C-alpha cells in the first residue's frame, strides 16, 4: 500500500516518523574519486593506445577514466598512438581505436602519433649523448640481458662521448644495421629496480612503418618515447594500469635530465572480466584454432564484440563511474555488474516484442479476431505495432509442456485460453474473451505470418577451473513477430519473458544481450 504512494510522499511520511531513516536509505552516488593535485582548467590526460591489436574493454575503461577526468576539470585530452615498434603497428588498428573511442563518446582535444616526432626524439637523444648520460652499446642481446640481470656494466658504458656520437650518426646514416648497436640510458646498473639498469633507448629496426614507411630505421623504445611525449604534451596526470609501475622512476629520471616536467601517476590493476581472455596472443590462438569466430566474437570483450552484444556506450561510462576504483588488487568484474547498468540504460528505450523459443503450435477453436495493436513499451511512449492474426498460434515449448486439458492461461494482450486437448506437439484450446485474471500465467505468442529467428546466447569462454566452457555459445531458435524485420544491425529489443536481444549483422540472428 505504502509503496503505491509517490516517492515524495513516502519520503515525507518517513521524515515525520524518523528523519535519520532517509539519510540512511539514500543511495550513495558513487563517482570517480577526486584527482590528486588536479587544478581546474590545467589537467592534461592522455589516451596512449598501441595500434597493434583490437581495442577491448580495458582500453575502453582506461580511456573513459582519462576522458572523465579531463571533463571534470575542464582540461585537455590527448590521443597519442604509441607506434614506435614498426613491426607491431598496423594501419587498421589506428582507426579501430579512433572508432572505439568515438563510439564511447570520448572526445579528445589533440591527436598525434609518436612516429610523428622522430626528429624530436633524435634531438633529445643527442642531448643525452653529448652530456654523457646515454651511450652507444654494441653488446649483443643475450649478453646485455645477462649483464643487466646481474647488475654489471659493460665496456661501452665508459666510452668517450665522441665515440658514442659517431655510432649514433652511424645508426642514423644506415651504416649500422639492426642488432649491431643500441643507445642506452646511463642509469643505475645495480639498482633494485631493473628498469633503471641502463635500458635501451634506441634500436635499429629494419622494417617499414605503417605511417612513416622506410623513412626511419632508428626507433625509440617505449620508455624514451613515452617520457618525452608525456613531457612535451604537458601531461599532468597519467592514469594507467599497473604493469608500468616499475617504469615510473625511469621515466621521471629521463625527463629530469631532459628538463621536462613530470606528471603524477595513478596506477591500478587491469580490468578483467570473468571467463574472458584479454591477451591478444590468447585471442589470436583461439581464432586460429577456430574456437571463436574472430575479434568480434560475441563472447569476447573487444569493443566490437560488446557493441554486437548490445552493451551501450553510456552503460560502459556509467559502469566506470560506479565500479572503478584505483586499487592495485586484482580485479575480475562479473558480467552481472555491467549487465545491470546496461539494463538500466536499455529499459526505457527498448521496444518489447514477442519471440517464442522452441515453439509449439496452438490451435484455437473459436477465434475470430484478425488483428491487434500492441504497445511497444509498458510505460514509455514508444508507439505500438499492429499484429496480424492467422489461423495458428505458437507458444513457448517450455510453457506448453506444463499444460494439460483444462489448463487456463493467457495470451498476452489477447485473450485467455482453456486447453481442450493436447495431441502430439499441438495444443488445442478455446478462447475466452476476457481480461487477465489474477495469478493466471501470461504467455507471449506469435501468430502468422512470423519470422524464424535464432538467438545466440553467449557465456563465459572459460570456467572457473580454467577449462573451456563448451556451453559458451548456445543457440535457441524460434519464431518472432514480423516487426523484427524493421530492426537494423545493433538495434536492441526486449523479447518479453526471454531477455534483451540485439540484432546481429544477419537479419534473422539475434544475440542475447542479457536477461
Partner RNA sequence: GCCUGGGUAGUAUAGUCCGGUCAAGUAUACGGGCCUCUCGAGCCCGUGACCCGGGUUCAAAUCCCGGCCCAGGCACCA
User: Which residues, 6 or more positions from 67, have their beta carbon under 8 angstroms from its beta carbon?
Assistant: 45, 47, 77, 104, 106, 107, 108
Annotate each residue in 261-300 with x if it binds RNA (CB under 7 A) or - if it does not, as one string: --------xx------------------------------
The span of 152-160, 304-312, 407-415, 422-430 binding RNA (CB under 7 A) equals 407-415
For RNA, the binding residues in 22-61 under the rule CB under 7 A are 24-25, 27-28, 30, 33, 48, 50
331 is a contact residue toward RNA (CB under 7 A): yes
Annotate each residue in 360-399 with x if it binds RNA (CB under 7 A) or - if it does not, as one string: ------------------xx----------------x-xx
322 is a contact residue toward RNA (CB under 7 A): yes
- For the CB of residue 188, give the shortest distance to RNA in the complex, in Å: 13
Does residue 105 contact residue 317 with C-beta atoms inside 8 Å?
A: yes
321 is a contact residue toward RNA (CB under 7 A): no
- For the CB of residue 109, give the shortest distance to RNA in the complex, in Å: 21
Residue selected from 219, 295, 409, 510 as contacting RNA according to rule CB under 7 A: 219
247 is a contact residue toward RNA (CB under 7 A): yes
Calpha distance 295→193 (Å, rounded): 36
Q: What is the CA radius of gyration of the chain?
A: 31
Residue selected from 46, 68, 82, 482 as contacting RNA according to rule CB under 7 A: 82
85 is a contact residue toward RNA (CB under 7 A): yes
Of the candidates 197, 187, 228, 281, the one whose C-alpha atom is nearest the C-alpha of residue 84 is 228
Annotate each residue in 172-211 with x if it binds RNA (CB under 7 A) or - if it does not, as one string: ------xx--x---------xxxx---xx--xxx------
Calpha distance 276→260 (Å, rounded): 40
- For the CB of residue 505, give the shortest distance to RNA in the complex, in Å: 25
The span of 57-65, 97-105, 300-308, 437-445 binding RNA (CB under 7 A) equals 437-445
Residue selected from 69, 333, 367, 510 as contacting RNA according to rule CB under 7 A: 333
Cell of 348: 526505457
Residue selected from 31, 206, 243, 282 as contacting RNA according to rule CB under 7 A: 243
Cell of 111: 591527436
Does residue 187 contact residue 199 with C-beta atoms inside 8 Å?
A: yes
- 449 preceded by a cis bond (ω within 30 of 0): yes
Calpha distance 61→74 (Å, rounded): 19
149 is a contact residue toward RNA (CB under 7 A): yes
245 burial via Cβ count (<10 Å: 0-12, 13-18, 19+):
middle
How many helices (DSSP H) and strands (DSSP E) are in the chain? 14, 26
Does residue 108 contact residue 212 with C-beta atoms inside 8 Å?
A: no
Nearer to RNA, 152 or 246 (CB): 246
413 is a contact residue toward RNA (CB under 7 A): yes
Residue selected from 410, 431, 473, 511 as contacting RNA according to rule CB under 7 A: 410
Match 577526486 to its residue by C-alpha cell.
Answer: 34
Question: Residue 499 in 3-state DSSP?
Answer: strand
For RNA, the binding residues in 481-500 under the rule CB under 7 A are 494, 496-497
Amino acid at each position: 500500500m505504502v509503496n503505491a504512494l509517490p516517492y515524495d510522499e513516502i519520503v515525507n511520511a518517513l521524515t515525520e516518523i524518523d528523519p535519520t531513516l532517509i539519510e540512511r536509505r539514500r543511495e550513495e552516488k558513487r563517482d570517480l574519486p577526486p584527482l590528486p593535485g588536479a587544478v581546474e582548467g590545467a589537467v592534461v590526460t592522455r589516451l596512449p593506445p598501441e595500434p597493434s591489436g583490437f581495442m577491448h574493454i580495458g582500453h575502453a575503461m582506461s580511456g573513459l577514466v582519462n576522458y572523465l577526468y579531463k571533463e571534470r576539470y575542464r582540461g585537455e585530452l590527448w590521443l597519442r598512438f604509441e607506434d614506435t615498434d614498426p613491426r607491431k603497428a598496423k594501419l587498421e588498428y589506428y582507426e579501430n581505436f579512433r572508432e572505439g573511442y568515438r563510439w564511447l563518446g570520448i572526445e579528445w582535444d589533440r591527436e598525434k602519433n609518436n612516429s610523428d616526432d622522430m626528429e624530436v626524439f633524435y634531438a633529445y637523444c643527442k642531448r643525452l649523448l653529448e652530456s654523457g648520460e646515454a651511450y652507444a652499446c654494441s653488446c649483443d642481446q643475450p649478453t646485455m640481458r645477462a649483464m643487466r640481470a646481474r647488475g654489471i656494466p659493460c665496456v661501452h658504458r665508459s666510452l668517450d662521448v665522441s665515440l658514442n656520437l659517431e655510432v649514433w650518426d652511424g645508426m642514423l646514416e644506415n651504416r649500422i644495421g639492426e642488432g649491431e648497436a643500441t643507445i642506452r640510458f646511463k642509469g643505475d646498473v645495480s639498482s633494485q629496480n631493473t628498469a633503471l639498469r641502463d635500458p635501451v633507448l634506441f634500436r635499429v629496426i629494419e622494417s617499414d612503418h605503417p605511417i612513416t614507411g622506410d623513412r626511419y630505421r632508428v626507433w625509440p623504445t617505449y620508455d624514451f618515447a613515452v617520457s618525452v611525449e608525456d613531457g612535451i604534451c604537458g601531461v599532468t596526470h597519467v592514469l594507467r594500469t599497473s604493469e608500468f609501475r616499475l617504469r615510473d622512476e625511469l621515466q621521471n629520471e629521463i625527463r629530469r635530465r631532459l628538463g621536462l616536467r613530470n606528471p603524477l601517476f595513478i596506477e591500478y590493476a587491469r580490468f578483467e572480466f570473468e571467463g574472458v581472455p584479454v591477451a591478444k596472443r590468447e585471442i589470436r590462438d583461439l581464432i586460429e584454432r577456430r574456437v571463436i569466430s574472430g575479434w568480434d566474437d560475441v563472447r569476447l570483450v573487444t569493443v566490437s564484440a560488446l557493441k554486437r552484444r548490445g552493451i551501450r556506450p553510456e552503460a560502459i561510462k556509467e559502469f566506470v563511474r560506479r565500479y572503478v576504483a584505483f586499487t592495485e588488487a586484482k580485479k575480475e568484474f562479473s558480467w552481472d555488474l555491467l549487465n545491470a547498468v546496461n539494463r538500466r540504460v536499455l529499459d526505457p528505450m527498448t521496444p518489447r516484442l514477442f519471440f517464442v523459443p522452441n515453439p509449439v503450435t496452438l490451435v484455437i477453436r473459436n477465434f475470430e479476431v484478425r488483428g491487434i495493436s500492441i504497445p511497444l513499451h509498458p510505460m514509455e511512449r514508444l508507439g505500438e505495432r499492429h499484429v496480424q492474426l492467422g489461423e495458428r498460434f505458437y507458444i513457448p515449448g517450455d510453457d506448453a509442456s506444463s499444460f494439460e486439458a483444462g489448463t487456463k492461461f493467457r495470451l498476452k494482450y489477447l485473450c485467455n485460453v482453456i486447453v481442450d486437448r493436447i495431441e502430439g506437439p499441438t495444443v488445442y484450446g478455446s478462447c475466452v474473451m476476457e481480461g487477465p485474471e489474477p495469478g493466471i500465467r501470461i504467455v507471449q505468442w506469435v501468430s502468422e505470418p512470423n519470422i524464424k529467428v535464432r538467438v545466440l546466447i553467449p557465456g563465459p569462454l572459460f570456467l572457473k577451473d580454467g577449462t573451456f566452457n563448451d556451453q559458451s555459445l548456445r543457440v535457441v531458435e524460434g519464431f518472432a513477430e514480423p516487426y523484427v524485420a524493421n530492426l537494423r544491425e545493433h538495434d536492441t529489443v526486449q523479447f518479453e519473458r526471454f531477455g534483451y536481444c540485439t540484432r546481429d549483422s544477419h537479419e534473422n540472428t539475434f544475440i542475447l544481450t542479457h536477461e
